Amino acid sequence: MRQARIESSTGLDLPTTGSMVERARAARRAVVFSGAGLSKESGLDTFRGPGGLWERMRPEDLATPQAFARDPETVWRWYAWRWQQVAGATPNPAHREIARWEGRFESLQVVTQNVDGLHLAAGSTGVLELHGTIAFARCSVCSRREPMGEAVARSAQEPPRCPACSGCLRPDVVWFGEQLPEGVFEAAAEASSAAHLFLTVGTSATVYPAAGLIEIAARSGALVIEVNVEPTPLSDLADVRMAGPAAEMVPALGRWLDRLG
């Protein structure tokens, strides 16, 4: 029978004894699954929820292949603005704490829906970027890549042309209706099914197939910990739910794990 979920709003009231503690202490393989809420304290807007980007604009106007075909200038200008936001952002304490965990677990796999590259900037290695990266632009014809900063420097108002084939450049992100990068979700699912501890942090748990990783981990017996300001549709799968900003809750979780030894 599944135990009652532990709720925490500070991280200070997490248990020091019991079966969940023993499971956390024995965990050797961990997965961190992150969404836009992780980067909020780095100054980057989330997409869903109160004040999110998709509350102020429609994703079908900015984040679909059809939108790019219909109005490439508007889409490119929006992503040029978004890239400039990301370029000015730095990892927050949650990103840095997650990177520190590479020394705690025998294996740590970071899987992110974010395209901002802040996990990598914080020092995490082998990050699986489910939705691509805004750090690069990609030719919509020949798939040649170049740093997004170089592409924006050539033109922030309309998509610059590929020097190899003259096709329009686009951000190297996954838009609604597109396939995830080949092999990335499969690798994430494999890691999730083998995880002893699975942390889901800052994600709305509404975008599939990515959200399915939480279900895979729970079904496979991982200790599932959710960090999110608001409950999500998959909160009931979490053994531990920490309600608060990622930049506060993830370091608090790290201190709890440190106390367990």
- The residues assigned a catalytic role are 131
Question: What does DSSP assign to residue 62?
Answer: H
Q: Measuring CA to CA, which residue among 185, 190, 191, 153 is closest to residue 169?
A: 153
CA distance 17 to 28: 19
CA distance 134 to 175: 12
The letter for the amino acid at 152 is V
Q: In what order do the strands lie in the sheet with 132-139?
A: 145-147, 132-139, 169-173
Helix (H, G, I), strand (E, B) or coil at 56: helix
Structure tokens at 81: 């603005």
- Whose tokens are 């294996």? That residue is 107
* 240-242 vs 197-201, strand pairing mode: unpaired
